[in-house]
Amino acid sequence: MFERDHISKQIDLLVSSRALHGSESLCKLLRYLAKHALDQPGAPLKEYQIATEVFGRRPDFDPQLDSTIRVQAGRLRGKLTEYYGSEGTQDPILVELPKGTYLLQFHRRPVGDARTLPTGSNDRPRGPDKAFLASRGGTIALITLCVLLAASLAAIAWLLTSRGAVPAAATVDPNQAPAEYREFWKPFLTGPQEPWLIFSNAAFVGRPETGMRYYNPAQDADRLVWDHYTGVGEVLAVHELDQVFAMLHRQMRVKRGSLFSLDDVKNNDLIFLGSPSENLTLMEIPSTREFVFQRLAEGPRKGDLAIVNVHPQAGESTVFLASPSLSPMTEDYAVIGFLPGLDPARSIIIFAGTTTFGTQGAVDYVCRQGSLKQLLSRLPVSPTGELKPFEALLRVKVKRGVPVETELLATRTGAP
Higher pLDDT, 112 or 133: 112
CB 293, CB 352: distance < 8 Å = yes
Residue 95 confidence class, pLDDT cut points 50, 70, 90 = very high
Separation CA 362–CA 243 (nearest Å): 15
Write the pLDDT tens digit of every residue in 302-320. 888 999 999 999 999 999 9
pLDDT at 414 > cutoff 70:
yes
pLDDT at 376 (0 to 100): 94
Specify the pTM: 0.61
Is 204's pLDDT higher than 50? yes
- In this prediction, residue 313 carries a pLDDT of 93
Residues 6 or more apart in contact with residue 105 via CB below 8 angstroms: 37, 95, 96, 97, 98, 118
Q: What is the pLDDT of residues 208-263, one digit of tens each?
A: 667 777 777 777 777 777 777 788 889 899 999 999 999 999 999 888 877 776 66
In the predicted model, is pLDDT for residue 165 greater than 90? no
Mean local confidence (pLDDT), 158-162 = 43
Q: What is the pLDDT of the chain when averaged over all its residues?
A: 80
Contacts of 178 (CB under 8 A, 6+ apart): 369
pLDDT, tens digit (0-9, with 9 covering 90-100), for 262-296: 666 777 899 999 888 776 667 667 788 999 999 89
Residue of 145, 84, 140, 80 lying closest to 110 (CA atoms): 84
pLDDT digits (tens, 9 = 90+) for 116-154: 445 443 333 333 333 333 444 444 444 444 445 445 444
Strands, E assignment, 193-269: 196-199, 204-207, 211-214, 253-256
